[in-house]
Structure 1
């Protein structure tokens, strides 16, 4: 049985489509289909059932996943052994919520690529938790530790969030001295039914029930606050990217959250991914501390 056919099989199993596997493998979908047909002929069984939702594994296909993943690990280990003297190279795909992806990972990716010129970093910003079981990424950053799955979980860093508004907006609207004063202001937050993690429910900290402007994207919310459209809970580490933003009511509203690094348990044996995970963790910690340190102490009361 050809390892390359197993590699293609795993890509289809994880993406549940020929086109998705083709994009992941830089291969034409028709070629993927032919290779799957060749593998099915070799094992003497259908591995996938085509459904309206995509390509679902048959019972025979499901039994082939574990040995294929074992072959994948062996191939990865062999490749790393050959490249050991050349340093860390190849592709690293990182999944992250868009706040981290927009305001932290670009700088961290820059430093990783500077340190390892042969490295290619891909940042996947998704408004949901990245699925490592389906290999959507090599590792993921999340705002809550997962409670299921064969995963390695590492706490990275705590970060701060505060209510903020643009100075132009604050100059045009009534002063804010206490939480009750928020009733005279427009709020910006998440779309309630698109909050994919309870840690992202920021609006409840303000005592307000409705946000007049909402988005499933932290970056969009941040741009709305920057445009003077209203007030929103924002990451302290993002404020340096938005001149004119001011933290307000900091003695009334101050949130602390954490980033977690998540890896598939099978990757424990990969020295390459372990080294990259350590470098990624150090980079994110340092960048959060640097950016939050640019803000200085919080104002005690009001604007």
Structure 2
């Protein structure tokens, strides 16, 4: 509980706390605020001193918010949303401004998301996109991103989700692995264990229990690259099958995933995020019907 204090909280204090809750580290909070790390460090020290209480614990893993910091961050989110709505009203009409942070894997970005973003953002000239499309995933629950496009069987229930398409996987390999040179069954390339887009592991273990995993990669794009190099057979979406890979005859009907568009619930009230979410949903729905 916060002890009585005469310090008058300002909006910039709330923004500071919210950025550190979302980022979980000084570096990420500084990036969100457009400031340097030392400025953020001094600011949070001053705020804690002014309030007479800790706002964050500091374990090795980063900055962990206290209950007070979480309460202030919730108030900051409400203020942020109210400010976004007010700005939209002053701009008039459908013009929307703001920053939207979107995360997806490199494979999904290249094949599916990037082609959609051009049309969506062209209609929203006031929206700035911050894209996380590399290895690893920005985490919606930790407020590292606003929108995510994920391949998964079932997304977390606390997120706002919309299924965009069913993505079947097929078994493929380099032609030289299929020439029957007597060396036994070709080895496999697998996705590394972890969160994200892997509907293939259970299917492989069920249909090929003795499969030898020779290599692994952090994402589907990496699996495809290793398969094209002839290092093993792999399960991939058809849009990642390129020469010299050949699709094998083994049926993989049961091996499929779903492409999900996901958003944090609090983002439904932020106009820029909501508009990008709806724009992407419309794009994929239109594409699926043609």
Please report the TM-score for the alignment, with normalisation by the length of structure 2. Answer: 0.82
Q: 2:55 maps to what in 1?
A: 47
Distance in 1 separating the partners of 2:289 and 2:235: 19
* One of 54, 57, 73 as aligned partner of 2:65: 57
Q: 2:186 maps to what in 1?
A: 185
The question of 1:221 aligning with 2:214 is answered no
1:158 to partner: Cα distance: 0.9
Task: Note closer, same or farther for the CA distance 1:112–1:148 as it changes in structure 2 (3 Å cut).
Answer: closer
1:158-210 superposed Cα distances (whole Å, 9 cap, x missing partner)? 1121011234x35x6229xxxxx99521221123x446566342533651433
The question of 1:77 aligning with 2:107 is answered no
Distance in 1 separating the partners of 2:24 and 2:147: 20
Q: 2:276 maps to what in 1?
A: 276
Distance in 2 separating the partners of 1:194 and 1:59: 29
Mapped contact 1:96–1:141 kept (Cα < 8 A)? yes
Between 42-51 and 210-219, report the one with greater CA deviation. Answer: 42-51
Spell out the pairing of 1:89-238 with structure 2 (5 A cutoff). Answer: 89-125=97-133, 130-142=138-150, 143-149=152-158, 151-167=159-175, 169-170=176-177, 173-174=179-180, 184-191=185-192, 193-194=193-194, 196=196, 199-201=199-201, 203-204=204-205, 206-207=207-208, 208-238=210-240
1:7 to partner: Cα distance: 1.1
Secondary structure of 1:51 counterpart:
coil
Secondary structure of 1:212 counterpart:
strand
The question of 1:23 aligning with 2:31 is answered yes
Spell out the pairing of 1:244-283 with structure 2 (5 A cutoff). Answer: 244-250=244-250, 252-254=251-253, 255-283=255-283
Q: How many equivalent residue pairs? A: 278
1:92 to partner: Cα distance: 2.1
Q: What value does the CA root-mean-square deviation take over the aligned residues?
A: 2.9
Task: Note closer, same or farther for the CA distance 1:188–1:105 as it changes in structure 2 (3 Å cut).
Answer: same
Q: 1:300 maps to what in 2?
A: none
Secondary structure of 2:276 counterpart:
helix
Distance in 2 separating the partners of 1:222 and 1:129: 19
Between 95-104 and 193-202, report the one with greater CA deviation. Answer: 193-202
Secondary structure of 1:104 counterpart:
helix
Larger % of helix: which? Answer: 1
| Structure 2 stretches lacking a partner, 5+ long | 1-8
Between 157-166 and 279-288, report the one with greater CA deviation. Answer: 279-288
Q: 1:294 maps to what in 2?
A: none
Q: 2:6 maps to what in 1?
A: none
Distance in 1 separating the partners of 2:252 and 2:98: 43
Secondary structure of 2:84 counterpart:
helix
Task: Note closer, same or farther for the CA distance 1:195–1:41 as it changes in structure 2 (3 Å cut).
Answer: closer
| Structure 1 stretches lacking a partner, 5+ long | 176-180, 291-303
Secondary structure of 2:63 counterpart:
strand
Distance in 2 separating the partners of 1:195 and 1:74: 34
Q: 1:35 maps to what in 2?
A: 43
Distance in 2 separating the partners of 1:115 and 1:263: 20
Distance in 1 separating the partners of 2:92 and 2:260: 28
